[in-house]
Amino acid sequence: MAENRFTFSGFAEDEERDPFGVWDAPPSDVRAAVVEPLTWRVDLPEVADGLAAISARIDAMQRGDAYLTRAESELEAFIQEATAASDPLRAGAISFGVGDAATETFYEQKQALRDMLTGFALLETRQLAGDVAFGGADLFRKKDDREGFQDSYRRWQAFVERVKQMVSQYARIETAIAGSAIGLTRVGWTGDFETRWLAGVPALSREAHRQTVNLALASRIALIRVVSVVTTGAAGLILKSVALPPGGQVLLIPAARRFILDVMATLREWDAVREGR
């Protein structure tokens, strides 16, 4: 039985997943071999069930926005709980505590952030030159910590590139029903719309495409908000992490991103378990 598919393509980096869990990369066998514009596409086997599926994705986007707000609050609380380190050899340093797995909400995510911040605090200025900061074998004492940060930094770069594309290119939004493309909308960053319809498209199918457009535009705005939340959180970490060597503050951006997206993913998993999905 055919399934409803919600895909986006055309990004420079397709490996990065949608943090809201709404859109997927298209299957490898249908990806274009040439560069294509940013495309948000919904493929529906049938229009009535398809409308319900779009509505469910809109609800998922709204839940994802609430997850982002919760993740932002958790990061703010984490930053506020930071205190001056008691070690006299690290004057001016900040301690983010050790946490308690039994009582701390999102302990795993917060501990991962603590470990990363601890690694940053041990850096020397020479390690922040060029690519050494992101690939040097001595960046962290533990291999897992080093590889975790390298992955976080690479993913942050890919995510920023994705957002740059969104704010500099027009969006192409497509809806197909039973294999036939019924609506195509081009949306400029300034909000200009141009929609083309398959001749004789029924009203219900038109509504499906309108809802697809709403979902795609909401997704684009939400992704930009993620960048705002991450950079604001990183700024908060910068104010606290005064012990970092010059230039080390840039490392806090992927650290904040990893925390925000990990908390969002955890919240989505919790909801799925509660709802039996």
Q: DSSP assignment of the chain, as one string?
A: ----EEEEE--S--SSPPTTS--BPPPGGGS-SS---EEEEEEESSHHHHHHHHHHHHHHHHHHHHHHHHHHHHHHHHHHT-EE---GGGTT-EE-----TTT-TTHHHHHHHHHHHHHHHT--GGGGSTTHHHH-TTSSSSHHHHHHHHHHHHHHHHHHHHHHHHHHS-EEEEEEETTEEEEEEEE-TT--EEEEE-TT--HHHHHHHHHHHHHHHHHHHHHHHHHHHHHHHHHHHHHH-TTSPTTGGGGHHHHHHHHHHHHHHHHHHHHHHHHT-
Q: What is the pLDDT of residue 241?
A: 66
Give the residue carrying structure tokens 């701390």. Answer: 104
* Full-model pTM: 0.81
Q: What are the extents of the domains in the chain?
A: 5-275
Q: What is the pLDDT of residue 129?
A: 44
Q: What is the pLDDT of residue 216?
A: 94
Q: What is the pLDDT of residue 87?
A: 44
Per-residue burial over 76-87, b if 16 or more Cβ lie within 10 Å, else e, is: eebbeebeebee
Q: What is the pLDDT of residue 107?
A: 93
Residue 208 CA, chain-centre distance (Å), reads 26
Measure the CA–CA gap between 93 and 41, rounded to whole angstroms. Answer: 49
Is the sign of the CA dihedral 105, 275, 58, 223 positive or negative?
A: positive
Cβ–Cβ < 8 Å for 212, 8: no
Q: What is the pLDDT of residue 52?
A: 96
Block means of pLDDT (10 residues each) for the chain, 277 residues, are 86 72 76 65 96 96 96 93 52 61 89 81 51 44 61 73 74 94 88 88 96 94 90 87 64 87 95 81
Partnered with residue 145 across adjacent β-strands are: none
Measure the CA–CA gap between 69 and 74, rounded to whole angstroms. Answer: 9
Q: What is the pLDDT of residue 95?
A: 61
Measure the CA–CA gap between 190 and 213, rounded to whole angstroms. Answer: 15
Q: What is the pLDDT of residue 26?
A: 76
